[in-house]
Chains A and B, each alone.
Chain A
């Protein structure tokens, strides 16, 4: 219903402007009606071919694997079946199915934008009660700059390519764009799912409003002052973090966690960057196959000797190999890079928890000092005592839930890595076997002729 309404919207003429996904099927529909960039409209888009390959790739389940700790509690089920891309904005359709009676209806859908997600995340972070929890990392801002830029370049280089080559490159780009789009949707979905599967967050009022309120949330965008304020706050926080981190923790567990997470974060950040680079260059190799295949086929077309068939076979093979290589690259991206990226953010969230606890510890120590001072001066003693008691309570609570959260985080991470690594290895084997079969077939054919 919702998707059909969107489909009726007049198509805009700029590339990647309007996009909508409804599961796999919707993705297909959407891309088929997607317009090519203005300069390219004269070229027929055959996106369906690209789509098929993508919809195969884009198994939603795979993405979910990133955060495996989702419990099987069916009291609150959330997914994003649909999304629409308008220029810079992405509109997600958040669909909820629930048995909880805190909701008015058992099933409903609401439109949400990326900013709404950010708002939800920020309110969670700011809620004092949740200081002892690892707050699921906010989904990254949708970024279509990469494919968009590439598309632009492709348009410029159009004259240097043959028609088929261009069409294939475009297809490839569309596939890439779609993959990015899907990934974006999935990251947002995971964010919500992690909240919904958490015993505390699932009961959060703001979260429930986010899910249920059927109007535009029209979250006020951060204005410049707030933006800089946030920036300043971040600066203070990191400075504070540095100061606090000098304090030796009383608790062995947290002391260890702190050094581990700090170390791990820098490593995983590096690994993520390297993996991104690797998958990108793999993609380049796959793209080269397109050009080579097209040129070989051109040479074959002009050849009149016995070589003709050989060249044609060779070109066909390269075309197939290119698809396989492309899949290898995108699977690596999905299974490896995305995993690393997600856990990089998750570890950041865990670090934030540690910071909050360290902050509370510092506060507690300060309150102790204040109490000592008050006692010395015999002034405001009950006030100070109260303050000290509160700080201690807060700190203890933080420590307790923090310990729990960090332990479960560790288990979650290991399971997620296991799952993804296995899947990646299996996919690599599958693709390599695929290539092997293709190559063997072609070699035999060539040898026979």
Chain B
């Protein structure tokens, strides 16, 4: 009997084990299923009704099909106050979806805040999940893309939530210059939360459905008595045209995500990687004849710098950063013979400024872009047509001196390959600033239409020949002497005067040579850019 008893006992134990195992498996499945629907179908429908995708849909569209590897699906918030401990208030994964995946085969870490769970509010657990993938991204060297759609702090958690923000901020700062960080604002992002996007390299917004502000319209009304809508205060238009907080705005979620995919292709995965090189169908020695006639004879007449940029770069593919802000400078990414480059150009075709002067906003816009390129090994190509800094009390009182210094600082500090083309005017201090030879420009070219001088002929003659007659004659002489590329060329401040049509060919060849450029700035704890 003993044998049969033992057999029976063993099978009973097994059955019990199997039973508990099954119930764990069931629970896993249940949790997973629950995680996939976030705050539930009702809230998902509400999200759709607002013209917004859900957190998971966004991730799915952003990443290559079936490439998403999720982490922390089982994480739940740990709050036990205000009834939060009840089961119905617990959502597996909490209010954010995190993980890694690929964009065109290239590794990226992603977090996507889930508005359907407590309005996407940030709990301690939520922050922890974000921090975890940011830490991993830093370890392996891959970019982080944050999809923001959050009502703010999880008020029930209080200080825990605040700590969470700070944890993220710290990581944003630590990752800055190590891996590219992109924020895509796809819903509300208010209060302290805004500082995470502000610390990342690029902030994109979705028109009509996303907002960024420190305090909302109600608080504004009570404090300053201003009547302002959410859209006016912190909508995509405000931040891409007035404040300069956001770098681009897109029509809707789908467009935004597809564009971020495209944008991602330009970026290296980390500061350890060279600028990416993609297969290129455009001939590197293609001549661009239209450039020979693009600069008008009248020096005051405008032309569009974008025409120059678009015809020179591969396949006319130019991803402009901040296209609606400080339009007197154009910055953005393109490729030359497949290799990503950063383009900076003065824009003569701006109605508000009449001329392509540097001012506070354009200096800051340019400086930040140049520093990003330098941090991530992206060569910088600068097109110069600058008559100087913008005069006026508004500029002086606003601190054009220290803001202009940022652009100067950024160009001087940069050690990536720097190629500069002077298309027309390069006057005064602005000439020095715009990636001149003196700021370690590697290759500096002048087009035949270039004029490198302290100032325009008229102004110069008024100073040199003050009070004297024959100003017109003197002006003609000045033009003859200085309104051409020779004064700079004879001194070696430009390396060559080139036919505009050959510009693409020259840049492509130079970039090949400069690929092995090595330049190191003196050791320092960190530099002290005039912020």
Asked whether A and B interact, the reply is no
Q: Which residues of A contact B (CB under 8 A)?
A: none
